[in-house]
Structure 1
Amino acid sequence: MDVRDDATSAPTPSPAVMDTTPRAVSRRLRVITVIATFGGLLFGYDTGVINGALPYMTDDLGLTPVTEGMVTSSLLLGAALGAVTGGRLSDARGRRRTILILAVLFFVGALGCTLAPTTAVMVMARFVLGLAVGGASVTVPVYLAEISPAERRGALVTRNELMIVSGQLLAFTSNAIIAQVGGESGGIWRWMLVVATIPAVALWFGMLVMPESPRWLASQARFSEALDVLKQVRSQARAEAELSEVSALAARDGQERLGGWQDMKATPWVRKLMFTGFGIAIVQQITGVNTIMYYGTQILTDAGFASDSALTANIANGVISVLATFVGIWLLGRVNRRPMLMTGQLGTTGALLLIGFFSLVLPSGEGRAFAVLAMTITFLAFQQGAISPVTWLMLSEIFPMRMRGFGMGVAAVVLWLTNFVIGLVFPSLVSGIGISNTFFLFVVAGVFSLTFVKLYVPETKGRSLETLEAELRARFS
């Protein structure tokens, strides 16, 4: 089935919906976005910090290639469980309350990793941290999508992606600084890991004073509370018009009892939509992005950099990720999601092909090191500027309101399990078939991903969540 759509088919909002937003309302929306996306910052820091901490941790904990993969991928396995659990919890108990619980898990997991005396404890603590990362990967984008006006949804939801890559940059930078200050002192990796407790505390205190998602409140038939929240982030006329649309859809979803596994299996259009979501999630991961994020320092060391130089050079990966995400946010307001996703896939696949080629034909040394660095930067420019923001945005948009957290949670499970498998086997693949052949495998996966997006991924730009749900219901029925 080809579910392509043209931008011209997007419905035009009524004048009441497009009225001028008061300055105080815009300021309130910005504050909510900043506080909620501390979850994204923690997501980024906790997934990126292992990049620089792992070489030091390997010596202190006596890690082998297998246990090294376990330490890295235990977070990803936890994230898979955290995604579906967080999605169900946010549907049942609310987005805001779930984010508060996640902030506690972020703090406990980071502290457990910092104090871990053995590999087993480290794996367990990283798993707990993964529960928080997975939950945040689902709940924060859904919260932002549901509280944002339709015309600003792309920009505001992808602020979370900006915070994710900012967290990774913070991890890369703090790793390099701590390594420079601490030198070869034992346990230096513990200082790298403990930094994550600070934004966890900020997230918890910040969310105490944030509102609940108005669409979640409407799904619980708490319409007066939903209107109160909408008035905080819309003009009064627009809040009332939007509540009318949301309430009608909430009543329809309630009659169909959309909300869980049984409903997904019993409702054909939802089932087809779930498989589309699974495909989008897999597409984002099989580019191999997290091999760069988790093992970037080792990739650069293998290419010819010294250990300290690789840590410093790896900061360039973080910087380009942040800059590319700014570009992605700008583009999302101007171009359609689907072509942007396909352009990103073409760019990442080409960069991976060249990484494999340079690693194969260039002699080890400075020339190969800088060639590989240039291609990892190019790869991340396309990944973080196009693929990642579109992925998280689409997953927060395409599922029905009553099961939005659950739907995105299940899709995120697929995403994190794909991430887990890649993170677990990457060191062994490099050891067994070499880095060039490993990246050539990702190139083949990129070709299949591009075909899937071209044939099956819908366009979502320019619709309210309610209009989009109606379109997808008609298209997949």
Structure 2
Amino acid sequence: MVNQKPSFNSIKGAGPEGETHRIDFKDERSSGSTSPNNLHEATLWERQRDPYLGKSERDIIVDLEGLIQQYDLHDLGEELTRGARYAYNRDDTDRLDPNEDERHWIAKEKSPAFKDKWSQTKMMYYVAVLCGAAAIVQGMDQTAVNGAQLFYFEDFGITNTWEQGLINGAPYLCSVLIGCWTSPVLNKHFGRRGTIWISCFVSVASGAWQGATFGKWQLFASRFVGGFAIGAKSSTTPAYAAECSPPRIRGALGSQWQMWTAFGIMLGFIASVAFYPVQVDGYPGLNWRLMLASTSIPPIVVCCMTFFAPESPRWLMSKGRYRQAFDSLCRLRQCRLHAARDLYDIHVRLMLEYELKPKTAWARATKLFSVPRNRRAAQSAFFVMFMQQFCGVNVIAYYSSQIFSDAGFGQQQALLASMGTGIINWLFAIPGILTIDTKGRRWLLLTTFPYMAACLFFTGFSFFIPAEGTARIGCVATGIYLFMVGYSPGMGPVPFTYSAESFPLAVRDTGMAFATATCWGFNFLLALTWPPLQEAFTPQGAFCWYAAWNLFGFFFTWFCLPETKARPLEELDAVFNIRTRDHLKYHLIKTPLIGKGHVGNDLVDVAAVIEGRDMNGHV
């Protein structure tokens, strides 16, 4: 059977970004129409906010009948019809004549109570645990090397600082060159579950290989192979969580990626401490080999978990497998009425995406940079991804044990001190998740950038303290710990959250691929350059270098980074349609008001600045 994608009737017109599609619908959802025939001309871009805009319930039923016929869903016809009517109008549920069980879950879904919000199926919680476990894999991959490098540099005679950085950064070199760009291909052919399974299998193989290496270039190769998994896993897992979860908890499940990545980072430090004393005659370097090989344990668990998890309903529907998508939704939702509603809602949004999305990868890449609105979104997303690395956090993630050793700690003490950074990173990620949707992205960055700069200056200057005694050790540890307190709620959760919401639907996949590649590319650059940077600049200069980048981040955020918190899609178009020079001019005027709570974007005030009026409306 050929799966022909259903579409809505359309006529040509002009959209805000040069689209040639414009659609006429009978409008029973809009109260602003004055046409005798109650017609509303709705652009594709207006329908991003409300995909049912301009359509009547009769239009929905006609569309659904075609869907049932196309995918041979006749036995589900009655359920799907009720679900489509529910998707169209979620307020008047009495007309659906719900049974007692359905009424119960409808009330639960509408209840503002926290316990009702998290009243989900066991399978939904299973998916959340699976995604959290995948994030743990990601984090542990990053930090097991922190303790191992204290030994394998010596065992393999790696004294060249550029070689040290190249070996430590090998996974991220692979990720930016290959891993990030294989994710769309893997997702297309193997689905979300399949991509997670493949990436975790590669992590298992890479970890085991790292533990059995016998030379520096084999160690480089084994770590390079691990990079195939990093890009695919980091882009697929949050998408899988979002596509499986109901809208009410979608943001929370999506943002858990950073928190559980921080937990995995902590586990990597714990593994370094746990295996440090392991020494067996006849097996030289067993301790650092076990540190690296331990990264294979979490992905084995994730590989097993994927076999029992449902596939993403959205991915199944994109392949024309609507019956399987409905079965998947029935496992993820509390009642079949909600499953039927979400099936039709996903279908409508998929059809909108087909209308919006350029058909070729080259067209999507071109549109990302040729359209001013998209280009400004890319500028902002690439900035936060760049600053996640150049705020200096992964200097600590990869080299903290060596830094603590240079400060005067013994090896075991250095590993214990590094474990402390991992614990702090995980604990203080929780406040960031709780405040990112209340305080906003800009607020978190503006409050943490100068704080992180001060901590890095303090850490760097601490190396001027004589090595004798414990003063230098205590100051270096204090500076690094306080830095992690600031990083975890700010630059930790903001970059991936900000990037995911900035791009319009037509170029979202391409934009996220570029943004993720930016993150891992600068991650590799940081890992590569820290050893020679420290050698050339001394620890004082190297820490001050990254402190200065945090000051740059503060000023760029204040003058050039728009706020995206709580913005509907059409308002985000308005935000990113403002030229950067106008945004800069607006915040130059607002700068004297720093400290009075004006750190967001007021579109009315921005418009006033663009038109040449002052803040009181005078020309």
**Shared fold per TM-score greater than 0.5:** yes
Gap change, CA 1:305 and 1:373, over 3 Å in 2: same
TM-superposition CA deviations, 1:163-189 (whole Å, max 9, x none):
212112111112112112439972121
TM-score, structure 2 normalization: 0.69
Q: Report Cα offsets for 1:348-406 as digits up to 9, x if no partner.
A: 22211211222235655411111111111111111122211122223333345565444
> When the two structures are superposed, what TM-score results if normalisation uses the length of structure 1?
0.88
Aligned counterpart for 1:297 among listed residues 391, 395, 401: 401
Matched-pair contact (CA < 8 Å) for 1:91–1:403? no
1:208-227 Cα deviation digits (max 9, x unpaired):
22222233344445555444
- Structure 2 stretches lacking a partner, 5+ long: 1-48, 51-88, 94-105, 578-619
1:264 paired residue number: 365
One-letter amino acid of the counterpart of residue 284, structure 2: G
341-350 vs 277-286, greater mean Cα deviation:
341-350
How many Å separate the matches in 1 of 2:436 and 2:328? 26
Is 1:111 aligned to residue 212 of structure 2?
A: no
Measure, in 2, the Cα distance between the counterparts of 1:473 and 1:332: 21
Structure number with higher relative contact order (C-alpha < 8 Å, ≥ 6 residues apart): 1
Deviation, 1:144, is: 1.9
Cα–Cα, structure 1 residues 148 and 381, in superposed 2: closer, same or farther, change >3 Å? farther
Q: Does residue 172 of the first structure (1) align with residue 269 of the second (2)?
A: yes
Secondary structure of the 2:237 match is helix
Larger deviation, residues 442-451 vs 331-340: 331-340
Query: Which 4+ stretches in 1 moved above 6 angstroms?
Result: 11-14
- Which amino acid in 1 is paired with 2:236? T
Q: How do residues 367-382 of structure 1 correspond to structure 2 at under 5 angstroms?
A: 367-382=471-486
Q: What's 2:222 paired with? A: 125
Of 444-453 and 103-112, more deviation after overlay is shown by 444-453
* Correspondence 1:95-110 to 2 at 5 A: 95-110=192-207
RMSD: 2.8
User: What's the offset of the Cα at 1:90?
Assistant: 2.4
Structure 1 letter corresponding to 2:548 = V
Residues 1:73 and 2:172 are matched in the alignment? no
Residue 193, structure 1, aligned to residue 193, structure 2: no
Task: State the Cα distance separating 1:438 from its structure 2 match.
Answer: 1.0
User: Distance in 2 between the 1:425 and 1:303 partners?
Assistant: 20
Q: Kindly indicate whether the alpha-carbon contact (under 8 Å) linking 1:166 and 1:322 is maintained by their aligned counterparts in 2.
A: yes
Q: Are 1:346 and 2:450 matched, yes or no?
A: yes
CA distances 1:106-138 after superposition (whole Å, capped 9, x unpaired) = 111111111111111110110111221222121
- Looking at structure 1, the residues matched to 189 and 380 of structure 2 have their Cα atoms a distance apart, in angstroms, of 24
Amino acid at match of 1:143: Y
**8 Å Cα contact 1:43/1:164 also seen in 2:** yes
Distance 2:375 2:186 in 1: 21
Which residue, 380, 385, 405 being the options, matches 2:489?
A: 385
> How many matched pairs?
463
**1:434: Cα distance to partner?**
0.6
Greater fraction helix: 1
Residue by residue, what CA displacement relative to the aligned partner does 1:327-354 show, whole Å, maximum 9, x if unpaired?
A: 2223335432331233232322221121
One-letter amino acid matched to 1:172: F
Partner of 1:27: 122
Q: Which amino acid aligns with 1:190?
A: R
Q: Is the 8 A contact 1:303 1:365 kept in 2?
A: no
Identity of aligned residues (%): 28
Q: Identify which range, 57-66 or 249-258, moves more after superposition.
A: 249-258
**Are residues 1:306 and 2:410 paired?**
yes
Q: Does structure 1 conserve the Cα–Cα contact (< 8 Å) formed by 2:266 and 2:423?
A: yes
8 A Cα contact 2:121 2:334, kept in partner: no
Pairwise CA distance, 1:289: 0.6
| Residues in 2 aligned to 1:238 and 1:461: alpha-carbon distance in whole angstroms | 28
Alignment of 1:159 onto 2:256: yes
Once the two structures are superposed, what CA deviation does each residue of 1:13-57 show, in whole Å capped at 9, x if it has no partner?
A: 965895256977343222101112222111111110110000111
**CA distance in 2 between partners of 1:78 and 1:51 (Å):** 19
Tell me, in whole angstroms, the C-alpha distance in 1 between the residues paired with 2:186 and 2:378: 19
- Structure 1 gaps of 5+ residues are 1-10
Structure 1 residues 48 and 384 mapped into 2: Cα distance closer, same or farther (>3 Å)? same
Match of 1:202 in 2: 301
Three-state SS of the structure 1 residue aligned to 2:512 is: helix
How far has the Cα of 1:241 moved from its partner? 4.7
Shift of 1:159: 2.1
1:341–1:222 CA distance, 2 compared to 1 (3 A): farther
Corresponding residue SS for 1:58: helix
Question: Aligned partners of 2:164 and 2:128: how far apart in 1?
Answer: 36
Partner of 1:4: none
Q: Which amino acid aligns with 2:195?
A: T
Deviation at 1:150, TM superposition (A): 3.7
SS at match of 1:434: helix
Contact 1:79 1:413 in 2 (8 A): yes
